[in-house]
Amino acid sequence: MKIDFDKILKESGEGITKRKLAEEMYKAGVFKSVISGINMMNYHERGDAKSIDYELLQYLMERFNLSASQIINQ
């Protein structure tokens, strides 16, 4: 499964970077550190993930007001 973070961030129109998003998710408790957030985002962008972390998906859905099908590229 794949998540195109660049597309999500671009379409949000907020001018937010992946690092800033990772910082937000760290503060929200989704990740244990900013670096682990960045690494997980890269892992999902490459399509290496066999499944999606529920907390990550839930955060993205709420943060960007998107459905799961809009976030996940299979």
Per-residue pLDDT tens digits for 59-69: 999 999 999 99
- pLDDT, residue 62, reads 96
Per-residue pLDDT tens digits for 18-57: 999 999 999 999 999 999 999 999 999 998 888 888 999 9
Mean pLDDT score, 66-73: 91
pLDDT surpassing 80 at residue 74: no
Task: Give the Cα separation of 34 and 40 in Å (integer).
Answer: 10
CB 16 within 8 A of CB 9: yes
Domain ranges of the chain: 2-73
**Residue among 23, 1, 17 at smallest CA distance from 9:** 17
pTM of the shown model: 0.88
